[in-house]
Each structure stands twice: as structure tokens, then as C-alpha cells.
Amino acid sequence: MSDATQDGPVLAADGTPLKRSLSRALRAQKLRALMLIAPLLLFILITFIAPIVDMLFRSVENQIVSETLPRTVVELEGWDAEGVPSEDVYAALAYDFMEAAERRNHTRLGSRLNYETTGISSLFRQSGRGVDDIGEDYADQFHDLNPAWEESETWAALMGAPDWVEAQSADDVEGAGLLFRLSVAIQDVLPETSDAYRSFARTVQSEDNDNPVAEEPWNTVYLALYRDLSTGEVSGYDGPMADLLAEAAAAVPDFEGMTPREAFADINDDWLDTEVWATIEAFSDPYTAGYFLSAIDLQLTPDGVERQPPEQRVYLLLFNRTIFMSMAITLMCVLLGYPIAYLLSNLPARTSNLLLILVLLPFWTSLLVRTSAWKVLLQQQGVINDLLVWIGLVADDARLALINNQLGTIIAMTHILLPFMILPLFSVMKTIPPSYVRAAKSLGATNFTAFRRVYFPQSIPGIGAGCILVFILAIGYYITPELVGGRTGTFISNRIAYHISSSLNWGLAAALGTILLALVLVLYWVYDRIVGIDNVKLG
Amino acid sequence: MDTKLPPYATFGQRAWFYGFRVICGLIFFFLIAPIIIIIPLSFNAEDFFTFTPGMLALDPDAYSLRHYTAFFGEDGYPWTGLLVGLGFGAAVSALFYVLGSKNLFPILIFGILGLIVGKLWGLEGEEWMTPLRNSLRIAPVATLLSVSFGTLAAIGLSQSHVPFKGAIMAILISPMIVPLIISAAGMYFFYSRIGLQGTFMGVVLAHAALGIPFVIITVTATLVGFDRSLTRAAANLGANPVTTFFRIQMPLILPGVISGGLFAFITSFDEVVVVIFVGSAGQQTLPWQMFTGLREQISPVILAAATILVAISIVLLTVVELLRRRSERLRGMSPS
């Protein structure tokens, strides 16, 4: 021990304490390692992890209702879910629907809600065509009262902020011009009308690239004006067009027309149906568990969570089938893979290397090549059936259906995944010393006992590793079940693909995917615990 | 199991010995036969998927190359393609030479490979050659990305003190574990948001991500046996870290890097699920075309395509095996 131990900390050559010097060197080493890893980590995070996280969000995301029908959603909060909603709700729906129809968003929302309650899609499409008539009777009465209400400039002057009106009224305004801004004074006097007009003005600007000063408002704006004037007080207002407004306010009590509820009922009776409103309300939250519930055959109804009607319960069946078939495939792989791995690990290295090529060749061959081979071989007019007929096992008119069913999927996938079972088994069996079995035999064990009591228990880690690997790979398979599975041999993956590309129900696809992912990650964790991801070997 | 039967074996032992070998033979047959059997079927002169009586009688007229002609197309301008291929082959061989391989064998292999690829490039069979060309465009770029990022990261991961090593490893390996359909769905949603869906770049990035676990696994496996005193010796003799990396470490881990690259290449070259969702018609690859063909109207040209792919995998398997042996030899040279 040097003197330094007594006097103070051990010093490095340059005079700094050794401890600090070492920890600095360690920190530098860690930093260098991280710098080398960082580019790849960033790359994977952006190209792979971000998409997965995006999918997780999509499975609960449900902004479409609150984005397309914002006013209706707010008004519906006061609804007690019994009986028909109030006139205010229908008025809000009229404003929302008019904008949605102009922006062509209503059909998208219709098909989204149709996943929950059938019939909404056609109701929405029909209403999209009829919504511009809502408020027409009021518009006519305003026109009759004073033709100035027919002029787009009147509306712009009444509603727009003064500087906006001035800028937009110039002759050289091209296209939509400046984004519409509301007059501050009118907002307090005519709250609904100003909201409806703003929605009109901005939609016209963004959708048609037109100047609102030159466009007559939608009929729903007249409806809003009628509603404001019949409830509110305009005497305090002294901005532009105050006289016109006072005149209209005086005349409004004599106006007659359909209320918003009557107008919607006129388009389609279903708007008086509580179920439609319950569906809209149930999915008005920006996040929903609805997709997950559908993914396990439940549904969100106004009365709470219920099971789907029996004819629509498909997903639990599919999950069960996927798991059952993956287990069957795993079992087949163990049964076929164990003898091969056993043989390979007990032959002299030269022979076993040669035979290993027979395992590696399928491993390296394209998945589609192997699938197409099975598709060709298993056909009714294919080689296997021809052979069976030729031998005489099967009559020519009773050829076996080996493909487009569960059997086809199991045969083809066992073949495809078998190398993934053999390789881990082989690498474990290679490490089992043959002297143990010899010792057991010399102690009097029969061949079978020696195998069962001595060899087999030592090969169990290999079986475990192989089974988890094959099961993980099988459970997410898409291509092979799609091509040889027919209708009964398909997996949950095929349903996910169907929802992405055909039915366009992305939320449900994401929810099914999330469940499958969770399942795989649990198995991955188990695999990591048993084998360790660092110990995965290829070829 | 012993490799030879002792002379005193009983009848039961004998029966089991041979029975077991027959069972194993049948399983090997199950593994190999489906791949082998499509090769003669692809030379069928008829549009059938089974052996015609003429084929069984080995009648030369029952065999033909017509499905291959349909695959490659007839008209073409192969000369430009040949030149491109030769250039490619020469460039790769030169790389090998610079990196320290002094024998001419790889130059020969890559020269021939380049020649074949180049010849195919010039052919004009619409239905299959465009997808093949797309595959050959996407796979190398994706491979290059995964190999360069992956090798750097593997070297980082093999240092002695890496914080959060387990978590980082789990993230980097995850593209191999997550089912392809889920990767495809996530990438489809996300890449549509950022405008990469349906672009060449999108497919390349997706395939590079899928290939990275293979590069990480093979290169870290090579680095496990790497003798660190070699780099220290180089530094001691005055080499800077860059020189040490390229002159000492790189030649030794090169076999691992190349086989990782081949894995990444074959991953991209065979991949069909992700490309279907992330790509558009302009990026249709060979496996995608096969998938479409198998799903809709199956034509015997698919067997010709499959045979060509089998030939490619045999070549790749051979290269990987040769590299593995070379790597073992190199590592055997260094004391460890």
C-alpha cells in the first residue's frame, strides 16, 4: 500500500484522483458505444417503432365524430339518452351536416358509424343530399321581407370584421382572398348565426376557392338567423345593417316553417330513432374502446357492453383457430424435427454437415417458392393426388381435398417452419455429451430408459426454444394461409389484411393487430427469458 | 444412437436402427421433395401442374423452355445490361481485393453474377421482368442501409460497457419478431401520414428495417470471438482508430458482415407482405408478382420463376457456407 492511501485518495499519473479518472474513462467508453449505436437506433425508431406506435394509437383513436359533428357532440351532452333529442341538437346537426356535406366528409363518418349500427351509412348519404333544403322556408320569408337579405354583400357586411369586408370588397380580389374573420359586435347579438356564417364562409373559401362576399349563404344560415332572432334581443346592436336587423326581428314572430327536427324527420324517419343518436353519442369521445370490443366480439351499446349477435361473432373464433392451428403446426414440427436433429447431432461431423444442407436449403428458399410448390402438389389434379390414384389408394373420382382447407395450411406451414425447429434443437443436442447415455446403459438401463431418463430431459431446452420460435412465427403468418388456406384455413392476419385493404376499417385492423402483437410480445419475453435473444443463431 | 450397429445387436435393435433411418429419410424427403419436384415441372411443355405421360416416359417433346421464354421475354437489348452487370461485378470484386482478399475466386463469382444480372436487365418480358428489376433495385439499397447501420451498431454493442444493452438489443431485434402483417399495417398507416407510402424510398426503408436484426445477429456473433488485443496492438504500433478499423477489425469481421448482408438481401428479395402494403404498382417486386399470380390465376410460368429463385438461393447458401468457413479459419489464426 502506498502512502497515498493514508493521506487521501489514490492519484492517477496526472494527479487527479484515480476513482474520478477511471469513471471518466468509463463514461467516455459508454458514450462511444452509444454513439456507434445511435444512428441505427434512430433509424429503427423512425422506420419501425413509430409505425407500430401509430398503429396502437389508431386502435383507440376516434376523432372522426367530434371532428365532423363538433356542435352536435356538444349539444348532445345534455341529452338523457331517452326519447328524441331537443331542437337545439337538431339545429346543431343541421349546421354540422351542411358543412360536412359541402366538404364531403359525411359519407366517411357514415361508413364509420355503420360499423356500429347498420343503416347509418345510407341515412347519412341521403341526408347529405337533402340537408341544403333545411331552412329554405325561412330563407324565402327573409327574402320576401326585404330583398336585401338575398344579397351576399348584405351578409358579408353584417357578419364580417370591418377591415376584412373592406379588403374583400375590392375589385381585384382573386379566388378566396383573405381568411374570413367575424365581426366582434355581431357575435354577442347573433351567436348561432355568426357561427353558422363563419362555417359557411370558411368552407366556401377552402372548398370552392370562392370569395364569401360574392356568395349567398346556405339555407341553414337563415335557419340560424331565425332561431337567434326569435329568442334573442337585437336592440343593443348599432353596427352595420342595424336597421335591417331590427326590421327582421320585428317580423320574425310571424314566420312559419319546419323546425330542424321536422326537417330532418322529413328527410328520413330514422333521425327520430333513439338508436342512431345513441350511436353518435357513444362514439363522440375522441378515444374509444369500440374497436377492441369489436375485436373480441363485444359491442358498445347504449345499455353498456354486450356480446355481438351470434352471426357476427367471428373474431374470437378466428383467434381460437389461429392459436389452435399454430399449436398443431408446432406439434408437427416437434414430431418431425426431433428425429432429424437427433440424427444430425449423433452422426460424424462430415455426414451431418452434408445432411444439414438438406435442412438449410428449404430455410434459404423463398417462402413463395415453397408455398407455390405446395399449391401445385396438393391440387386435386396435382402430383400427390395423381400418385394416390395411380397407386390405387384413392378412386379417380374421389380425389382428396388437400388444399384450401385447414389441412393444406398445416401441411404447408409445417414444411416451411420445420427448419426453425430443427436448428435450435440441433444446437442444443450437439452439446449433450454422449458419455451420459453410455453411462446410463452401462448401469443397466435399456436403450429406451436411457433415452427417456437421461437424453430427453437434457434436450428439453431445445424443444422449448424451437416451440416458442415456431409458434411465434406461425401465429402471425399471412402469405401461406392466404394462398392455401381457402375459407376455413385462414388466420387472424388474413382478417387484418382484409380490414386494411378491402373493408377499410383501419381502426378494427389496428385493434386486432394490437391484440396479436401483445400475444407475440409475451411469447418473445418468455423466449428471451429461456433462450436469450443474444443466443439466436442463423444457419 | 450409435453410428454403427454392434455385431451382437438383437433383432429389435437392428429393426429400430434401420427403421429410424427410414423415418429420417422420409422426413428429409418431405423437406426437400416439394422444392425439387417443381424444377422438372417447370419444363412442362403443357400448361399442366402435374407430370404428363410424355414427361414420365422422358419424351424430349414433352419438355420445353416455353415457360422460361414467357418469363424472360424474347426481344431485348441485352448488351447494355451485360456491360452494366460486368461493371457491377468488377466493382464488387475490386472491393473484395482492397479489403484484403488476395485470391481471385470472389472476383470470378461476382463477375459471373454481374454478367447474369446484366443479361437479365436487358430483357423485356413485361409481366415478370419489370418486377424482377424492381426487386433487384430495392434489395441492394435496403441491404446497404441495413449493413452500414447494423455493423456500426453491432461494434457499439460488443463494447464492454453499454448502458441499457438489453433494452437496445430488444428494440433492434424486434423487426424479426413482430409478425410481418403487423409491421405492414403499422408502416402502411404511418408511411401514408408522412407521404412515403407508395414510394421507392418507403419500400427501401421498410425492407432495411426488416433486414437489420439479421445483420446485428451475425455481426455480433462474429465479434464475440474477436480478439481485442489485436486492435490494441495496432494502436500501440501507431495506427489511428480509423486505420485500425479498416485494416485490422474490418477484414476479420468481414465474413460476418457479408453473411449478414446476404441475410438482409434475401429478406428484402423474398419479402412480400410489407411491400404489398407499403409499395404501389410502381414498386411491384418478384414475390409480389408471384403472390398475385398464385392468388388469382395460377400459370405455369410461376414454376419457372420459382426454379430461378431456388437457383438463386442455392448460390447464396453456398456463398454463406464458404464465408462461414473462411471466418472460422480467420478466427482460428488469432489467439483467443
Question: Residues A254-311: pLDDT tens digits?
Answer: 888 888 888 888 888 888 888 888 888 888 888 888 888 888 888 877 677 888 888 7
- In terms of Cα–Cα distance, which of B106, B173, B138 is closest to B269? B138
According to DSSP, residue A232 is labeled S
Question: CB under 8 Å, gap of 24 or more: what pairs does A103-111 form?
Answer: A103/A203, A103/A207, A105/A68, A106/A68, A108/A64, A108/A68, A109/A64, A109/A65, A109/A68, A109/A69, A111/A504
Secondary structure in 3-state letters for chain B:
CCCCCCCCCCHHHHHHHHHHHHHHHHHHHHHHHHHHHHHHHCCECCCCCCCCHHHHCCCHHHECCHHHHHHHCCCECHHHHHHHHHHHHHHHHHHHHHCCCCCCHHHHHHHHHHHHHHHHHHECCHHHHHHHHHHHHHHHHHHHHHHHHHHHHHHHHCCCCCCCHHHHHHHHHHHHHCCHHHHHHHHHHHHHHCCCCCCHHHHHHHHHHHHHHHHHHHHHHHHHCCCHHHHHHHHHCCCCHHHHHHHHHHHHHHHHHHHHHHHHHHHHHHCCHHHHHHCCHHHCCHHHHHHHHHHCCCCCHHHHHHHHHHHHHHHHHHHHHHHHHHHHHHHHHCCC
Q: How much is the pLDDT for B336?
A: 32
Cα-based torsion angle of the residue sequence B275, B279, B284, B287 in order, rounded to the nearest 10 degrees: 10
Q: How much is the pLDDT for B335?
A: 35
A35 burial level (CB within 10 Å; 0-12, 13-18, 19+): exposed
Lowest-pLDDT range, A7-21, A125-139, A426-440?
A7-21
- In terms of Cα–Cα distance, which of B224, B217, B226 is closest to B259? B217
Nearest CA in chain B to A28: B161
What percentage of chain A exceeds 90 in pLDDT?
A: 22
How many Cα atoms sit within 13 Å of B323 on the Cβ side?
25
Lowest-pLDDT range, A355-369, B73-87, B204-218?
B73-87
Q: CA angle at residue B124 from B121 to B130, to 5 degrees?
A: 70
Q: Does residue B283 contact residue B200 with C-beta atoms inside 8 Å? A: yes
CB atoms within 10 A of CB B292: 14
Q: Three-class SS of residue A11?
A: strand
Considering CB atoms only, which of B161, B170, B179 is closest to A30? B161
Q: Which helix (H) or strand (E) holds A96?
A: helix A87-102
Q: Tell me, yes or no, if B266 comes closer than 8 A to chain A by beta carbon.
A: yes
Put simply, the answer to whether A368 touches B309 (Cβ < 8 Å) is yes
Considering CB atoms only, which of A36, A336, A493 is closest to B153? A36
Please, which pLDDT band fits residue B121 given cuts at 50, 70 and 90?
low
Nearest CA in chain B to A477: B179
Q: Does residue B244 contact residue B231 with C-beta atoms inside 8 Å? A: yes
- How far B96 CA lies from chain A's nearest CA (Å)? 23
Q: Contacts of residue A35 in chain B, CB cutoff 8 Å?
A: 156
Q: How much is the pLDDT for A514?
A: 94
Q: Contacts of residue B168 in chain A, CB cutoff 8 Å?
A: 37, 41
Q: Tell me, yes or no, if A484 comes closer than 8 A to chain B by beta carbon.
A: no
Q: Tell me, yes or no, if B224 comes closer than 8 A to chain A by beta carbon.
A: no
Phi-psi region of B103 (alpha: psi -120 to 50; beta: other; left: phi over 0): beta
Which domains are seen in chain A, by residue range? 2-58 (no CATH), 67-132+260-282 (no CATH), 135-254 (no CATH), 315-535 (1.10.3720.10)
Evaluate if residue A9 carries a pLDDT over 60. yes
> Residue A359 is placed in which grid cell?
435442412
Close Cβ partners of B305 (under 8 Å, ≥ 6 residues apart): B71, B128, B286, B289, B290
Distance CA A334, CA A330 (A): 6
Close Cβ partners of A185 (under 8 Å, ≥ 6 residues apart): A237, A239
Place of cell 452494366: B84
Q: How much is the pLDDT for B334?
A: 42
- In terms of Cα–Cα distance, which of A364, A480, A418 is closest to B266? A364
pLDDT digit string, tens, across residues A375-389: 888 888 888 888 888
Distance CA A455, CA A453 (A): 6
Put simply, the answer to whether B294 touches A26 (Cβ < 8 Å) is no
Q: CA angle at residue A79 from A75 to A82, to 5 degrees?
A: 150
Of the residues A23, A356, A364, the best mutation for testing chain B's interface (the one with the most B CB atoms within 10 Å of its CB) is A364
Q: Which of B2-6, B97-101, B288-292 has the highest mean pLDDT?
A: B288-292
Distance CA A218, CA A199 (A): 10
According to DSSP, residue A180 is labeled P
- How far B316 CA lies from chain A's nearest CA (Å)? 8
Considering CB atoms only, which of A342, A476, A536 is closest to B180? A476
Nearest CA in chain B to A485: B295
Q: How much is the pLDDT for B70?
A: 80
Distance CA A362, CA A211 (A): 67
What percentage of chain A exceeds 70 in pLDDT?
A: 97
Q: How much is the pLDDT for A80?
A: 79
Average pLDDT of chain A is 86
Q: Tell me, yes or no, if A264 comes closer than 8 A to chain B by beta carbon.
A: no
Put simply, the answer to whether B309 touches A369 (Cβ < 8 Å) is yes
> Residue A9 is placed in which grid cell?
485518495
Place of cell 437496445: B168
Query: pTM of the entire structure?
Result: 0.80
Considering CB atoms only, which of B3, B35, B205 is closest to A47? B205
Distance CA A354, CA A346 (A): 13
Question: Which of A 341-380 lie inside 8 A of B, CB atoms?
Answer: 342-343, 346-348, 355, 357-362, 364-377, 379
- Reported ipTM: the value is 0.83
